[in-house]
Structure 1
Amino acid sequence: MGKSVSVSSDDLVGRQAEVALAVAELRRLRAGRSSVLVIEGEAGIGKTRLVQSIAEEARAQNMTAFVGQAHPFERTRPFGAMVAALDLNRRSGDPRRAAIDALLRGGDAMPGSVAGDSQYRVIEEIVDLVESSCSRSPVVLVVEDIHWADTATLSAIWSVARQLTLEQLLVVVTARPSPRSAEVARLLEDLAAGGARAVDLLPLTPDEVALLARRLLGADPGPELSAVLAKGGGNPLWVLAILRSLADESLLRGTGDDVETTTSELPASLSDLVVRRLQHLPTATLDLLQITAVLGDAVSLRDVAAVAHRPGVDVVAQLGPAFDAQLLDTSDERVVFRHQLVHDAIYQRIASSARRVLHREAAVALMAAGAHRLEVADHLVRGAERGDEEAVAWLREAAGAASAQAPPVSAELMRRAEALLPLGHRDADLVASEVVQALLRAGQVAEASGRAEAILARRHAPEADIPLRLALLGALALQNRTDELIALVQTSLDSIELGPSGQVMMLAQQSWALTYSGDPRGGESAAARALAISEEAEDVAMTVWALTALLVAVGRRGRFGEALVHARRAAVLAAESQDTRSLPLQPTFFLGLALIDCDRVAEARAAFREALDDQFGSAWWLSETLMADAQASFVIGDWGDALPGLVAGGRAAQEKGNPLLVNQSLAYRIFIATGTGDLLTAKELAAPLIPVLEGDQLPYNAGVLACAVAGLRAAEGDLQGAYDVLLHCWQFDIARECRFYHRCLAPDLVRLALALGHEEVAADVAGVVRRGAALAPDVPTVRSLALRCQGLVDGDTEALVDAVGLARQAPHLVEHTGACEDAAQLLAENGRRDESAALLQEALHRYEKAGADAWAGRARAQLRTLGVHPGPRGNRHRPTSGWESLTSTEKAVSRLVAEGLTNGAVARQLYISPHTVNTHLRHVFSKLGVPNRAALAALVPHSIE
């Protein structure tokens, strides 16, 4: 007799250890601790069932569970799985979710936004949404099948996991061992490095397969049935399919207490089993199943009806047998296959030629129904053939739509559009140039430059020439191929007819390349030429480009006041310009840098805040702007706020692949670690910088790296090593007429040269610095530097005292205290002990305020040699725990968090990054002894009172 099988009872079998781990993670979540769980395993092994149980248990405990799944035919849809998990829908009753959907659809693109800017904004909004949900209840965020996910979704998962480590959040992702892209592998590696727990679902044992069968059949499987079930290899989905197939075909019979099969002949694969079951379905149902499979593994009935050209009610009726056969199910108003393997079996059964036709027809029908181009791009990619010019046009438009939200998706669409063009098509070179630009925006720089070079080396369409050259310039700059960049600009200017804007763009790029490769004189010349062209053309946007290049060049040559004039003019013109798309990114950021170079730190920080509020280029320069502001905190001695910003800025630079900025972050952290006396940490931070400083070719920011490493070596007693690294960098800069880092290189180099008997070197350095002071007569620290160096060489006490007076006019910690200590030493040697002690006390006060305990200890030791016994150390009066132990920024962060603001909202109010907020909160939790934000919120009002 036939035996019925109820597949709705397929409870978890053989997963006790995995369930226990999931329960432990939920317990951690309830206790207020975040974590990440990665569940891996082959298709059908039970990943979905396990995460379903986690979500169900979370909801049973009054937690919030967001569940989304990536799909194989939606890889051209940015943030697809996150949209599903978080219900990012323009029809949502939540204005925040509707606003994110508008961003995804390009409805709120910022003027002048650059590639990836919208993606950054969407990710930040997603992080903010998840964080605000965590403030109301613990949250479980599940993203299934990330092996199918688009790159934007992967970035969002990583950002949520990394930024919300202090929230009540459990992130769960599932993945197959293959297929696995490099991006997916990198995400899983990053999650593992961040402490994610991994679960590898293994096949069920024979006893577990027997238990699963018993639950479904109500009786034990007999020996023959057990042998047939063993063909499933312990894969639960395959075991269920075998049992279902046997039951549907009445091939099961009861034998006493057991259930046996009347056949041992079954298909050798799950796909064949599915196809075998299709034989019992009506033709109309099979036709609709094929259309449904072509549309994807989870589709709307409306789309099926549109492509089938049938009324929706007929579609529902004709798909009924497929639902009865448990091939289909419904989820969130979509028709879904019971498993992707079921979908794959039906999809692969369609002849490849028929699949292409169906995909092409699906694209046409969906476009006619008003679907977004990105939602049908995958069908065009799979269905169009070479020569399909209509598909090429659609794909180019879809690539443009994806450019801001997901540059890698845009690049892939452009590749496909190019491949579909007929051979010898008139637009081939223009499309090729669009591919190059898309690759560049997606960060695939080497391929972009290689393609551009190949096209430019052969005959090509004139209209593609300039876009290709400009894209190649950008690629060469990103690869630091400065010699080739400079040559390309010169060749372009000499051989092709460029309009004023093209000339200015090329000259500006050449100027930066020359300046940063060690030829600031040449950089200034190129920038000046660009400025003359832009002014003659009365092109405001191009004038800003030229001024920005010029201010960098003259600043590197030590003419800081002149650079500030150019920076102010550029910022004013940019603010007045309507052509924001053509402007260089963040001219206000460059104004902030010029202000810092002129000792105007407060004005610089205001400029950085304005840059963060600007309406263009926000994501592009974000890490640079936040890093510069953190460095400003370091400069004025506000190290408590500087360090979290430097750490966060370094991480952001690492993610962007900016090694220069990463090393700069390390350098300033080395200064702080050395100043506080943590030489072990300083040495660890310095390790990556040593090889950088030992080469013949140094990076443009080598000055600050050398000063940091030299300071560490001097603190360790290695004066010769400190001297060597400073001298190497000094000589490198002098050969290139670069004066930018003289303020940090020169004083220590002069002092060490004198201590080691290199008086000629000290005199030469002092002379160079003295001549440099004439180039920036209005900058106090530059003038102070000249007096310090010459005073040390000449033993001129008054010059050193005057240097202190000038240093007091600027808020700089290191320049001020260094001048005080230099003058104090010479005053003491000349018997002016009281004056010496006063200056040491002045330095000591600033060291203690900054928390530079090691440097403060040095000043105290010098005071004791003068017979002066300083009072109790300043930081002894500073509590190490409780509200008063917090820095001003930590208090501000705590107050805003207590008001219910998310990290993103706090960051926007305080002009710091969400990563920095997270770092501050870690310190706050530690100092106040609280475990989470809720406990902090309860404590803050009491502390304020």
Structure 2
Amino acid sequence: MSGPPTPGARGCVALDRDLGGEDTRWVAESVVVPSADGLIGRTAELELALGELDRLGEGPASVLVVEGEAGIGKTRLVQSLVGEARSRDLRVLSGGGHPFERTRPFGLAASALGLSARSTDPRAAAIGRLLAGRGGEASATPGDIQWRVVEEIVDLVETLCAERPVLLVTEDVHWADTASLLAVLSLTRQLSLAPLLTVVTTRSSPLPGSVVRLLDDLAAGGGRSLCLAPLTADEVTALATHELGARPGPRLTALLAKAGGNPLWATAMLRSLAADGGLSRSATEVDATVSELPASLGDLVDRRLRDLPGPTLELLRIAAVLGDAVSLRDVAAVARRSPAEAARQLGEAYDAQLLDRVDERVVFRHQLVHDAIYQQVPAPARRVLHREAAVTLMAAGADPLAVADHLVRGSERGDEEAATWLRHAARGAAGQAPPVTLELVRRAEALLPGGHRDADAVSAEVVQALLRAGDVAEASARAEAVLGRPHVAEVDIPLRVALVSALALQNRADELVAVVEDSLASPERVGPAEQVVMLAQQSWALTYSGAPAEGEAVAARALAVAEATEDPVLSVWALTALQVAEGRQGRFDAALSHARRAAALAEGSAGPRALPLQPQLMLGMALFDCDLVGEARTAFRAALDDEFGSAWWLSATLMADAQASYALGDWDDAVPGLMAGEQAAREKANPLLEWQSLAYRTVIATGRGELGVARELADRFAGTLQGEELPYNAGILTFAAAALEAAEGNPHGAFDLLLRCWRVDAARESRFYHRCLAPDLVRLALALGRREVAGEVADAVEAGADLAPEVPTVRSLALRCRGLVDADAASLVTAAALARRSPLLVEHAGACEDAASALAKDGRREEAATLLGEALARYEAAGADAWAGRVRAGLRSVGAPPGVKGSRHRPATGWESLTATERTVSVLVAEGLTNGAVARRMYVSPHTVNTHLRHVYAKLGVSNRVGLAAVVHRSIE
């Protein structure tokens, strides 16, 4: 390439086509030469694409987005790339979006991967059955099937990549359904180390918002974007020469200039002139005998249509309404003709070069040809044809989702039958693709005439669809609007339940509580199930907004209602709310008792039946709060094993398990888990868990002495601690931010952060984060001369210890804070002994340091050195080098040489540099397991496995699984 790339939107590169050079075109007497397969004028673009193909087996996966106007040559370029890939014996997976299929969940993905219950590949067939609703997932949480299908697609493609490198082509994503876009993004994110080249083609504009977001995400992940510019004049001449077998003359060249460098339009001109006798051939060139042509490709197609017989034209229009690549049998069915008759009558359309045959499908020569024929049909006639197509295809057994787009385009206000069909199709899409459900019920609502008897019912369905699609603000607004006007009684309580859920997701606690109280003012009109769900939501709202005692009272009321019904699922709702309220108040033993009961009831119930939270996840969190970390991790693994709800609560489960790794001091394992949890939280739009991941990683970076990294992480959540209201997980965020401030030499800033959060929690009667906040706050308060604050904190944690007398770190905390305030070495030593009974790193090592400091002041240096050595061992095992350095300084101050630096530190590279978890991942991958299979074996997520592999590749100096397998086999022989 002779000039630098020209950046466009999202980093899109339009190759410089004006400066010439051996890689683009030749100027002066030079001639543009077609490639071996006839591709003209795209030498530089093809070389860029082939460069990505060359790297396919050598390193990480890559993404290439090809953008350009219709007819500019995107498909032609991709076809050349596909041909080259096949010549290299690479696996090619190819599919595309089609008009009128945006309501078909995973339509593009299914076409690219052959996802059909009839597939000969059992893996693709299994996903096809899942899409068809025959995968045993009918009762899964709304939206879960979408995530389950995405996970299965990722696993399938990774399996194929393990066999040989894969080129995945997804064309025309501007027509793709939202579920397919999610699948493409997940493939590129989760298989970033696989031999996978993903090529995406799209028109430049206008684009749906979902496609813009996909392209932005692909660019942010390192994908390259290539904008196809119009062909130059020399390239158009070369194209004409290739088509005609001779150079174009001056009149023909002038006509071709009107194509504006669009190769499809230029080719169509040439073929039209040839068909109409508008070309003359001499010994040296071919020239035009006319000076005018239709002004556009659409006009040219219109002229072609005038010469077709009426039956052929009718079939062409029906085919265009059905799509750009449709079954001949479907065309015949809608036209009410036999397939043989339809095929015969379409013959002249093939002769006119408007159609191609592909298998048993009728395929338009180009999308612009399809568009021209479709637009030629008057709008009222198009609407009728879409309507008839939907009715005919459904009568023939078509999936309502496959024809829903025809219903959407073919119905007018007042079409009650179409509204009923759309509502039915929406229910079928509820689990597979919530955004599709929303689109369908919105259209159904728009079709109903004013004052229709079903208007309120459809409005309620819209609210539910908005909730499932994550549009909670609109869901609450719509629910409030219906409830605020006269409406049928049947929708009142369902709308109120939906409104409560939407308000909960927006943290609008006061409004939620008001809705519940108003709804239950006449309890006789609210069924027990609805009562329990509303009360549980009210309990959580009260608890997390700062009134956990009131939340507990409401949860107890919910439990009484649930137990009267003898429905175990309702009891799980109530018990979960009770557990959360008790835990926030620091009554961890009582919370655990209720969590155990909820998990047992859930295990004995039939299926998930819309459980509020994953019971095993909640049990694990309660166990963790009681220092029972081993049991907690077993519960987290059970949550990941549970086929019901694991996808929905994946981010929370991953975060909880990664937090356990952090707490135990297994920081090398914690970081990949925290990063995976953050990624999952981002995919589920859960900022609270994103911030939580950042906070724990900030603490780890601070403990390791990586203050630059810690500051970069902390800055991403710092704003949440500066607003008027603190989030309910502010305790861990504050702990991380304050630890960094102190490490950077700003004790006053650290103290201010801790004190504000402490006071907010005290006002809320929340003791959940005492173990995070209290020790550092007491220590800083004493150092800064704020003894009254230190005393206040010590009093509070002592009162909290009475609420959880069986939890070692809670009792240790009380003794530790009181010992610091009173300079009582005996209390601090006892605190260290209690903390030793727990596996938690920060609590144990911190208690040892505090006790050692008091002992040293009392002249008991040998005892101090012993406790400092205990803390040092924990810090070094975790890799907390900065904190270990602090302890080493303490050892020197008491006259105890710290000795040789611990043996935890491994080499920087090679097999010995890998952690135990990294070695396990490496061995499993070398055995041929996919990331998904490794994740299931190790009870982590594919995101976590991918992060481990990145570290492994860097340490071993390999770029793919083949290289990794070779190192593994050498190292374990």
Question: Could you tell me which of 686, 689, 702 is aligned with 2:730?
Answer: 702
Question: Could you tell me which of 769, 773, 776 is aligned with 2:797?
Answer: 769
Question: Could you tell me which of 902, 926, 929 is aligned with 1:874?
Answer: 902
Aligned pairs (5 A) from 1:438-837: 438-495=465-522, 497-578=525-606, 580-837=608-865
TM-score normalised per structure 2: 0.95
Shift of 1:221: 1.3
Q: Does 1:236 align with 2:263?
A: yes
Structure 1, unaligned stretches of length 5 or more? Answer: 1-6
Match of 1:11 in 2: 38
Question: Could you tell me which of 945, 950, 965 is aligned with 1:922?
Answer: 950
Equivalent-residue separation in structure 1 for 2:913 and 2:373 (angstroms):
65
Equivalent-residue separation in structure 2 for 1:828 and 1:900 (angstroms):
56
Equivalent-residue separation in structure 1 for 2:227 and 2:718 (angstroms):
41
* SS of structure 2 residue aligned to 1:652: helix
Provide Cα deviations, 1:613-664, integer angstroms capped at 9, x if missing partner.
2232121101100110000000000001000010111122122211111110
Equivalent-residue separation in structure 1 for 2:243 and 2:634 (angstroms):
69
Equivalent-residue separation in structure 1 for 2:881 and 2:911 (angstroms):
22
Aligned length: 939
Shift of 1:938: 2.0
Question: In structure 2, what residue type is equivalent to 1:219?
Answer: A
Match of 2:117 in 1: 90
* SS of structure 1 residue aligned to 2:169: strand
Q: Does 1:181 align with 2:185?
A: no
Equivalent-residue separation in structure 2 for 1:400 and 1:822 (angstroms):
60
Match of 1:858 in 2: 886
Q: Does 1:365 align with 2:420?
A: no
Equivalent-residue separation in structure 1 for 2:579 and 2:669 (angstroms):
29
Shift of 1:605: 0.6
Structure 2, unaligned stretches of length 5 or more? Answer: 1-33
CA contact (8 A) 2:72 2:229 kept: yes
Is the deviation greater in 716-725 or in 578-587?
578-587
Match of 1:205 in 2: 232
CA gap 1:261/1:10 in 2 versus in 1, 3 angstroms:
farther
Question: Could you tell me which of 336, 344, 356 is aligned with 1:329?
Answer: 356
Shift of 1:359: 1.1
CA contact (8 A) 1:445 1:475 kept: yes
Provide Cα deviations, 1:124-153, integer angstroms capped at 9, x if missing partner.
111111111111111111101111111011
Question: In structure 1, what residue type is equivalent to 2:257?
Answer: A
Q: Does 1:33 align with 2:54?
A: no
* SS of structure 2 residue aligned to 1:562: helix
Is the deviation greater in 595-604 or in 22-31?
22-31
Match of 1:3 in 2: none
CA contact (8 A) 2:130 2:137 kept: no
* SS of structure 2 residue aligned to 1:135: helix
4+ residue runs over 4 A deviation: 7-10
Equivalent-residue separation in structure 1 for 2:360 and 2:797 (angstroms):
73
* SS of structure 2 residue aligned to 1:299: strand
Provide Cα deviations, 1:261-314, integer angstroms capped at 9, x if missing partner.
122222111111011111222222111111111110011112112212222222
CA gap 1:8/1:917 in 2 versus in 1, 3 angstroms:
closer
Match of 1:127 in 2: 154
Shift of 1:50: 0.4
Question: Percent identity among equivalent residues?
Answer: 66
Shift of 1:562: 0.3
CA gap 1:910/1:876 in 2 versus in 1, 3 angstroms:
closer
Question: In structure 2, what residue type is equivalent to 1:816?
Answer: H
Equivalent-residue separation in structure 1 for 2:95 and 2:331 (angstroms):
22
Match of 1:393 in 2: 420
Is the deviation greater in 382-391 or in 403-412?
382-391
Equivalent-residue separation in structure 2 for 1:580 and 1:109 (angstroms):
13
Equivalent-residue separation in structure 2 for 1:333 and 1:311 (angstroms):
14
Match of 2:342 in 1: 315
Equivalent-residue separation in structure 2 for 1:589 and 1:637 (angstroms):
21
CA gap 1:25/1:582 in 2 versus in 1, 3 angstroms:
closer
Is the deviation greater in 932-941 or in 337-346?
932-941
Question: Could you tell me which of 910, 919, 922 is aligned with 1:894?
Answer: 922
Provide Cα deviations, 1:666-713, integer angstroms capped at 9, x if missing partner.
110011000100000001111133222123311111111111111111
Match of 2:9 in 1: none
* SS of structure 2 residue aligned to 1:67: strand
Shift of 1:256: 4.0
Equivalent-residue separation in structure 1 for 2:36 and 2:392 (angstroms):
39
CA contact (8 A) 1:542 1:582 kept: no
CA gap 1:384/1:454 in 2 versus in 1, 3 angstroms:
same
Question: In structure 1, what residue type is equivalent to 2:432?
Answer: Q
TM-score normalised per structure 1: 0.98
Match of 1:303 in 2: 330
Shift of 1:725: 0.5
Question: In structure 2, what residue type is equivalent to 1:103?
Answer: L
Question: Could you tell me which of 295, 298, 301 is aligned with 1:274?
Answer: 301
Match of 1:20 in 2: 47
Equivalent-residue separation in structure 1 for 2:121 and 2:376 (angstroms):
42
Equivalent-residue separation in structure 2 for 1:9 and 1:366 (angstroms):
43
Q: Does 1:54 align with 2:54?
A: no
CA contact (8 A) 1:111 1:580 kept: no
Provide Cα deviations, 1:36-82, integer angstroms capped at 9, x if missing partner.
10100000000000011111101111111111110111111111111
CA contact (8 A) 2:659 2:670 kept: yes
Question: In structure 2, what residue type is equivalent to 1:585?
Answer: L
CA contact (8 A) 1:139 1:169 kept: yes
Aligned pairs (5 A) from 1:50-199: 50-110=77-137, 112-199=139-226
Equivalent-residue separation in structure 2 for 1:704 and 1:426 (angstroms):
52
CA contact (8 A) 2:171 2:201 kept: yes
Match of 2:288 in 1: 261
Match of 1:293 in 2: 320
Shift of 1:10: 8.6
Provide Cα deviations, 1:96-128, integer angstroms capped at 9, x if missing partner.
000010111111142531222111111111111
Is the deviation greater in 545-554 or in 881-890?
881-890
CA contact (8 A) 2:876 2:902 kept: yes
CA gap 1:583/1:656 in 2 versus in 1, 3 angstroms:
closer
CA contact (8 A) 1:110 1:615 kept: no
* SS of structure 1 residue aligned to 2:302: helix
Question: In structure 1, what residue type is equivalent to 2:153?
Answer: I
Cα RMSD of the aligned pairs, angstroms, is 1.5
